[in-house]
Amino acid sequence: MSVPPSETPTPPPPGANVPSAEEKQWAMFAHLSALLGALVTGVWFGWGCFLGPLIIWLIKKDTLPFVNDQGKEALNFNISLAIVSVVLLVLVVMTLGIGLLVAVPIGIVVAIAWLVLTIIATIKASEGVAYRYPINFRLIK
C-alpha cells in the first residue's frame, strides 16, 4: 500500500532550525510550569506563575535555543500577568474596596485568557512551533 505523492509529508529543508524532541519537551514544560506554579501557590495574585518558567529558562537557556526562546516567552507573559494582578490589587486598595467592582470581572477575564493561552502555547511548543503570546510585555530579551 503506497501513499499518493500529494499526501506524502515533505521533510523540512536542509539546515532548517527544527527543534529536537528534548527541546520540544523542555519548551512545553516551560509553559506548563506556569500552571503548576499557579496550583502550588493557590493562584494568589499570579505570583507563582512565573517561577517555573524562570527556573526552566535559567537552567536550559544556554544549551537549548528553542527552550531559550519559549522560556523567555512564557516568563515574559507570566510576569506581565503578575503586573496586571498588582495593578488590580492597588486599584482595590486605593479605592477602599470599591475597585472590586472593576477588578473582579477583569481578573476573571484575565485568568481565563491566561489559562487558554498557556494551554495553546504548551501545545504549540510540543509541536515545535515558536508561540508568541498576543499580549506580552517583552521585559526579558
Answer for the pair 52, 33: CB distance below 8 angstroms, yes or no. yes
Q: pLDDT digit string (tens) for 115-139? A: 999 999 999 999 999 999 998 888 8
Angstrom CA distances, 72 to 50, 62, 123, stand at: 10, 12, 17
As a whole number of angstroms, the distance between CA 19 and CA 61 comes to 14
Q: Tell me: pLDDT of 15 over 50.
A: no
Confidence band, pLDDT 50/70/90 cuts, at residue 16: low
* Mean pLDDT value across the chain: 85
| Band of pLDDT at residue 2, cut at 50, 70 and 90 | low
Q: What is the pLDDT of residue 9?
A: 47
- pLDDT band at residue 91 using 50, 70 and 90 as cut-offs: very high
More confidently predicted of 8 and 97: 97
